């Protein structure tokens, strides 16, 4: 960010776009001066994490921001059991329409970087996992790591760690499937009993709208008010069921981050999936 925070430059898809920002009094975050843009730029109060967006193929897409000064530099720092919310886009290798899907998952990482994960299930062990591999230091960087499975690098791992609070982020670019290239983002927090961080959150989403949600205990208010179920389907997750019957899975942190994911019709086998993340400024 430059010009006292009034401009932000994002590089995506091989090109860099510089945006001019203005205060959005309705949400207390920054809007693009182009009023036609749907996304917002904001940081949590201490600036460790934030969000903005990039226009890719003429479509606004959310971008997750991490303060580089908070990034872990050792594989051992990643050790833990994390709740993950994931968003993935499958692009068929031989042509055809891309599809999207979301999932909730558990990932377990040991202090040597060995990992395994389980998706869309309330239990997880190395014997029941959906995938496993190693996390290795990226040779070109001290604060990013390669997620490896079957000798193929499936994504890039970052860990933001401040004051004992950890957020795990995986930028997925998996070319190991012969039928499709899978790109996506995973965001995770260490598993612990859910504890409310009340307040107003502004979120950027994959479905083009800027969402503002308020959290009070386990009551979530946006376009409607939903009483969510805590510690389900995983300890530390919220499940909020919309009027249409779709389950929305939510993680939030004491630092002021919120992430949501759902699939239309709760079809976690295929999708389409929807994903948002945002902050309490």
Q: Tell whether the model's pLDDT for residue 119 goes beyond 90.
A: yes
What is the value of pTM for the model shown? 0.93
Shared domain for 60 and 119, answered yes or no, is no
Shared domain for 116 and 82, answered yes or no, is yes
Give the pairing type, strands 229-230 and 225-227.
unpaired
- At residue 169 the predicted structure's pLDDT band, cuts being 50, 70 and 90, is very high
Q: Tell whether the model's pLDDT for residue 113 goes beyond 90.
A: yes
Instruction: Return the DSSP state at 237.
Output: -
Shared domain for 87 and 33, answered yes or no, is no
Q: Which of 136, 171, 190 is the last residue of a domain?
A: 190
Locate 121 and state its tokens.
Answer: 């299930």
Shared domain for 62 and 74, answered yes or no, is no
Q: Stretch 272-280: mean pLDDT, rounded?
A: 94
pLDDT (tens digit per residue) in 59-87: 888 899 999 999 999 999 999 999 999 99
Domain count, the chain: 3
Q: Which of 133, 167, 190 is the last residue of a domain?
A: 190
Shared domain for 103 and 45, answered yes or no, is no
Shared domain for 132 and 226, answered yes or no, is no
Shared domain for 20 and 82, answered yes or no, is no
Which residues, 6+ apart, have CB-to-CB distance to 139 below 8 Å?
Answer: none
What pLDDT score does 2 carry?
Answer: 65
Shared domain for 141 and 248, answered yes or no, is no
Rg of the Cα atoms in the chain: 18
- At residue 200 the predicted structure's pLDDT band, cuts being 50, 70 and 90, is very high
Shared domain for 161 and 219, answered yes or no, is no
176 contacts 150 by C-beta, under 8 angstroms = yes
Q: How far apart are CA 203 and CA 57, in angstroms?
A: 21
Shared domain for 264 and 168, answered yes or no, is no
Q: How far apart are CA 259 and CA 265, in angstroms?
A: 19
Q: How far apart are CA 12 and CA 60, in angstroms?
A: 11
pLDDT, the chain, mean: 90
Tabulate helix, strand, coil % of the chain (nearest 5): 5, 60, 35
Which residues, 6+ apart, have CB-to-CB distance to 107 below 8 Å?
Answer: 81, 82, 84, 115, 116, 117, 168, 186, 188
Shared domain for 216 and 151, answered yes or no, is no
Q: Which of 148, 166, 190 is the last residue of a domain?
A: 190
What pLDDT score does 20 carry?
Answer: 84
What pLDDT score does 81 carry?
Answer: 97
Q: Stretch 17-23: mean pLDDT, rounded?
A: 83
**Long-range pairs of 255-258 with CB within 8 A, sequence gap ≥ 24:** 255/44, 255/46, 255/48, 255/49, 255/162, 255/163, 255/165, 255/167, 256/44, 256/45, 256/49, 256/197, 256/199, 256/201, 256/280, 256/281, 257/44, 257/49, 257/167, 257/189, 258/201, 258/203, 258/213, 258/215
- At residue 88 the predicted structure's pLDDT band, cuts being 50, 70 and 90, is very high
Domain at 263, CATH number: 2.40.128
- At residue 168 the predicted structure's pLDDT band, cuts being 50, 70 and 90, is very high
Shared domain for 80 and 135, answered yes or no, is yes
What range defines the domain where residue 40 resides?
3-67
């Amino acid at each position: 960010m430059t010009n006292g925070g009034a401009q932000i430059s994002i590089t995506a898809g091989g090109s860099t776009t510089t945006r001019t920002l203005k205060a959005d009094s309705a949400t207390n975050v920054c809007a693009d001066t182009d009023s036609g843009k749907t996304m917002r730029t904001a940081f949590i109060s201490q600036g460790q994490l934030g969000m903005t967006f990039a226009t890719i193929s003429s479509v606004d897409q959310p971008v997750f921001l991490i303060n580089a000064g908070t990034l872990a530099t050792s594989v051992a720092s990643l050790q833990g059991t994390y709740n993950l919310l994931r968003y993935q886009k499958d692009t068929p290798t031989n042509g055809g329409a891309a599809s999207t899907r979301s999932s909730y998952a558990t990932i377990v990482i040991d202090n040597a970087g060995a990992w395994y994960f389980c998706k869309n299930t309330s239990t997880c062990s190395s014997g029941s996992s959906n995938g496993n591999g190693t996390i290795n230091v990226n040779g070109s960087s001290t604060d990013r790591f390669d997620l490896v499975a079957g000798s193929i690098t499936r994504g890039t791992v970052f860990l933001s760690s401040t004051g004992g609070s950890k957020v795990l982020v995986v930028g997925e670019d998996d070319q190991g499937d012969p039928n499709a290239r899978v790109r996506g983002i995973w965001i995770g927090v260490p598993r612990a009993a859910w504890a409310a961080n009340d307040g107003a959150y502004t979120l950027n989403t994959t479905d083009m709208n800027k969402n503002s949600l308020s959290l009070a205990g386990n009551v979530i208010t946006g376009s409607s008010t939903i009483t969510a179920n805590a510690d389900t389907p995983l300890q530390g997750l919220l499940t909020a069921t919309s009027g249409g019957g779709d389950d929305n899975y939510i993680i939030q942190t004491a630092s002021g981050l919120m992430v949501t994911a759902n699939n239309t019709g709760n079809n976690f086998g295929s999708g389409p999936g929807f994903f948002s993340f945002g902050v309490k400024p």
